Amino acid sequence: MAIEQKDALFTLVKSLSKSEKRQFKLYVGRLGGNSEANFISLFNLLDKVNVYNDGLILKKTNIKKQQISNTKAHLYKQILVSLRMNPVHQNVSSQIREQFDFATVLYNKGLYKQSLKILDKAKELALSNGENNLAYEIVEFEKIIESQYITRSMSNRADELAEQAKELSLKNVRISKLSNLSLQLYSLLLKAGYVKDNKDSTLLTEYFESRMPKFDLMKMGFKEKLFLYKAYLWHSFIKQDFVSVYKYSHKWVDLFEENPEMKKQHPVFYLKGVNYLAESLYLNSHRTKFKAILESLDFDIKNNNIVLNQNTSTLAFIYYNQNKLNLFFLEGQFTKGLDFVQNLLIELKKFEGQIDAHHIMVFYYKIGCMYFGAGKNEECIFYLQKIINNKDLKMREDLLCFSRVLNLVTHYEAGIDYNIEKLIVSTYKFLLKMDDLHEVQRKMIAFLKNLSDIYPQDLRKEFIKLHKELSKYKEHPFEKRAFLYLDILSWLESKIENKSVESIIQEKAKKLLK
């Protein structure tokens, strides 16, 4: 999750924790001569400064201009070696690779049986943890040793290794096809967006089924099932079939619950699965189960059931807090949520440089919605403008579209309507350019455009009329998503009943109670 900065070495040094810095200094200090080495001087300098500057290096160290590049490269490598030795950064795959390296050393020394013994243990560890690629590499190395007729192994050893290699190869091909499919579907979502009609839906399913490899679920291992559920999840997301999104995200999380040790081995996949499950429950307005998942995630984080490093800590922060905001929305607790927002904004600053721009903008949109629900329209506009004015967010994103629609509604609510016609035109043009204009959005923009021609005494009738028109799209397979990002119907009901948006949503939440 960390954001790349201009100088890779400087970014790496600044990412080190106190214990990692201490370990590095102990590591390089193992040889007396290192204490005065150029790369140590460079490390100490970069650790102190806040901005990278070549001129400062020349001024504060004995490093000459022509030495800077090589010294930086050497320091970068030494930091990585030190980090690799840190138990915090070691996992099953790194342990297997280490054993593989030991076996290679023994093989090169002609100690073949010792090498095979280590490889056998490493292979067992790889297979029991679903590290099929590493297991395949080990089998291929075993084949090299056995094929030299130097160990005088049992006569069936060759057949056994050949069969293992074949099975692992088929598993790896299947995992590769499934992971490719899930990645291609994600890419398709970014390029073309969600399906807009039955034709799109049919084309998507044909695309999906033509790339889905044959499989027997009963014979599949952990990673095969993981990527299978991931592929089905993305297919469901793009089709806007949120019930199926729930189904496959639930299978994804259940896979980890059945194999709890995998939470530590693959914490990123686990966190993503929990996030998709929570999001699906939010999209399906299932509050009770949503709260249970959020509490479970909080428990796993606090009780170290997940390996937390800088990457996973950032992901855990994003997923927990975005879903916490969603809980306030589900319950209609917007005013109460403002206290949470204030604390969240402070926490966000701590993660500056670690959270990417897209996720920051998602936070701003949700914060804007919180202020809108609480009737704080000017504050809502402030955060929406951060998204609208962000020229670097090139990706196709729903929040780019819905931010502009909510911006229109909020300007009307706040009474800032002196340039609303210009705002309507620019919003309409933007949505057309993005090719993401839903009927719901079209009708909303048309309504706001004609507001100035409606007599005050006729406003309530027009709100009722628009509510009736939009209500028929609430369960429409390709239009309902608009209501998930912006609860237009509740806003209209608040205008019709002369109540706050917050009270309307709270009343709905009490009736729902599921």
Both 14 and 85 in one domain: the answer is yes
Q: Evaluate whether residue 121 is within a structural domain.
A: yes
Task: Out of 56, 89, 122, pick the residue that ends a domain.
Answer: 89
Asked if residue 5 has pLDDT above 50, the reply is no
Write down the residue that tokens 């920051």 correspond to. 360
Asked if pLDDT for residue 343 goes beyond 90, the answer is yes
Give the contacts of 350 (CB within 8 A, at least 6 positions apart): none
Q: Which of 89, 119, 138 is the last residue of a domain?
A: 89
d(CA 39, CA 58): 13
Instruction: Answer whether residue 339 is part of any domain.
Output: no
Radius of gyration of the chain measured on its C-alpha atoms = 28
pLDDT band at residue 151 under the 50/70/90 scheme: low
Domain span at residue 132 reads 92-153
Q: Are residues 102 and 57 in the same domain?
A: no
Alpha helix (H) residue ranges in 147-241? 157-192, 198-211, 222-239
Shared domain for 12 and 85, answered yes or no, is yes
pLDDT score for 482: 79
Looking at the structure, tell me whether residues 72 and 114 fall in a common domain.
no
Residues 69 and 15 in one domain: yes
3-4-7-10 Cα dihedral, nearest 10 degrees: 40
- Establish if 24 belongs to a structural domain: yes
Residue 27 lies in a domain: yes
Tell which of 113, 131, 153 closes a domain.
153
Question: Which residue bears the tokens 């290794």?
Answer: 161
Query: Is position 314 within any domain?
Result: no
58 lies in a domain? yes
Domain count, the chain: 2
State pTM to two decimals.
0.83
H/E/C letters for each residue in 286-320? CHHHHHHHHHHHHHHHHCCCCCCCHHHHHHHHHHH
User: Looking at the domain assignment, is residue 366 inside a domain?
Assistant: no
Q: Quick: pLDDT tens for 383-431.
A: 999 998 887 765 556 778 888 888 988 988 888 877 777 888 888 888 7
Q: Ramachandran region of residue 352, left (φ > 0), alpha (ψ -120 to 50) or beta?
A: beta
- The model's pLDDT over 168-207, given as tens digits with 9 standing for 90+, comes to 999 999 999 999 999 999 988 888 888 888 999 999 999 9
Q: Is residue 36 part of a domain?
A: yes
Domain shared by 85 and 12, yes or no:
yes
Q: Give yes or no: residues 49 and 119 share one domain.
A: no
